[in-house]
Structure 1
Amino acid sequence: MAATAATSLLSRRDPRWALAAVPLSALTGAMLWFFRDPERVPGDARILSPADGVVQSIDPWPDGRTRVAIFMSPLNVHVNRAPLAGTVTSVEHVPGGFVPAFNKDSDLNERVVWHLDTALGDIEFVQIAGAVARRIVPYVRAGAKVDRAERIGLIRFGSRVDVYLPEGVTPAVSVGQKTVAGVTGLDHG
């Protein structure tokens, strides 16, 4: 932002500085827009979407849970939220690759695995870095109590968040549906 301000001021003295000021201003605006963090009123469902994005897949898991994968494009808000109120029992960083988050091999990407002790039992959700996103920033640590839709972390640029619905919980979303973090319900609860 300092470079944008400096080149903008210099372009008043010499118009040639506008060649640098214009793209720097556009880049600064894009970065401010990308890292936006709007206030949200939590939705009514028991389990809320932790991410803005599009439901990429809904898969039954061998242990009876259902995985809901939400792809976040660079146009989505990338602040992630707690899907339920509870206590964070673990926040585990797992090193890995950086293939595009919409690719099925992104299960091997760098990620942060979260576990919450909630009224529904253990809830697991996973922040997955994409090809451009190479940094996941957790805001809370193990032992913290979180409210529904509370901000829990950020994934920089395009990525994915998977939520594992407990056995017996039917998804209320469908593949291709848009989600809003902290607002869209993932279950029929």
Structure 2
Amino acid sequence: MNLAPGAWKYAIVPLLAAPFAVIISVTASIVALALAVGVLAFFRDPERSPPPTGVVSPADGTVSVLREEGDRVRLGVFMNVWHVHVVRAPVAASVVDVEHVSGAHRPAFSKDSDRNERVHVRLETDSPNLPAPTEPGHTADADPAEPDDGSADPEKTDVSTGHHSRADVPDSEAEVTLIAGAFARRIHPYVESGDELERGERIGHIAFGSRVDLLFPPSVDLEDVAVEPGDSTTAGETVVLEGDTPGLEVETVGFDRDQSDFDGSAGDDEPDANHEP
């Protein structure tokens, strides 16, 4: 069984403690062993087989968010404790930027989670699985209530949600956001700017779960999305947006980059490590 990087770091202590816990009681030893097995289960990383077409879910879990934000559509997947916590690329794309944003650690299913710590993985894609833009070269329209005097910040963060709001979003841009939760305080991106990703390829994991958001390109409308709140998803396999053109012909998508020396993370005590795959 494949394990996400860092699994043994969490499992080794209870695993080594289990035989010594017998001195206290058999029950204590069993509890320690069960804890170690549970940690390894959290970090399991099975192979996945993307379907021939379509945009795939970036995470295992339950669809908890599906809404329009300006001219973009946001899909949020909540990962519970029993889900696989490895995050995958929804489409074939190039990594434009990986950004760590500090924040709180509220429960991922609460409204306050919009202020949680997160890692944004910004992608550029020309995937045939995405709808063609209605107008070539279309970009998000500026707010008509604000005069375009050149003073507006082309990229800013909505203080009420922590989400990016950009006035010049190209049709080729998508964004996957890994969001920390009350217990999931370690976000581990595997990628950095300039990396080329296949559809369904691993891009990171969140230690002990939480939430993953997919912000579709502007060409995607809400009615294009093939899932709805409450639906279960499987990372790299569940189609969240139907595509008419075959994607990559692969049976499984495994580790396509060397992670043997991986120790990068974004968390409470290492806020600047998110760019080290």
Aligned length: 185
8 Å CA contact retained: 2:14, 2:36: no
More strand by share: 1
Report the CA distance between 1:118 and its aligned residue: 0.8
User: Does 2:227 correspond to 1:173?
Assistant: yes
8 Å CA contact retained: 1:115, 1:124: yes
Name structure 2 gaps, 5 residues minimum. Answer: 1-11, 128-171, 244-277
Match of 1:8 in 2: 19
Match of 1:130 in 2: 181
Report the CA distance between 1:188 and its aligned residue: 2.1
- Going from structure 1 to structure 2, the CA distance change for 1:156 and 1:21 (only over 3 Å counts) comes to same
- Going from structure 1 to structure 2, the CA distance change for 1:10 and 1:26 (only over 3 Å counts) comes to closer
Q: Distance in 2 between matches of 1:31 and 1:123?
A: 32
Report the CA distance between 1:129 and its aligned residue: 0.5
TM-score (norm 1): 0.91
Q: Distance in 2 between matches of 1:154 and 1:33?
A: 14
8 Å CA contact retained: 2:18, 2:33: no
Name structure 1 gaps, 5 residues minimum. Answer: none
- Runs of 4+ deviating beyond 4 Å: none
- Going from structure 1 to structure 2, the CA distance change for 1:29 and 1:92 (only over 3 Å counts) comes to same
Report the CA distance between 1:5 and its aligned residue: 4.7
Match of 1:158 in 2: 209
Match of 1:149 in 2: 200
Match of 2:62 in 1: 54
Report the CA distance between 1:6 and its aligned residue: 5.8
Alignment RMSD (CA, Å): 1.7
TM-score (norm 2): 0.63
More helix by share: 1
* Partner residue of 1:44 out of 52, 60, 67: 52
Match of 1:105 in 2: 112
Q: Percent identity?
A: 45
Q: Distance in 2 between matches of 1:7 and 1:65?
A: 50
Match of 2:136 in 1: none
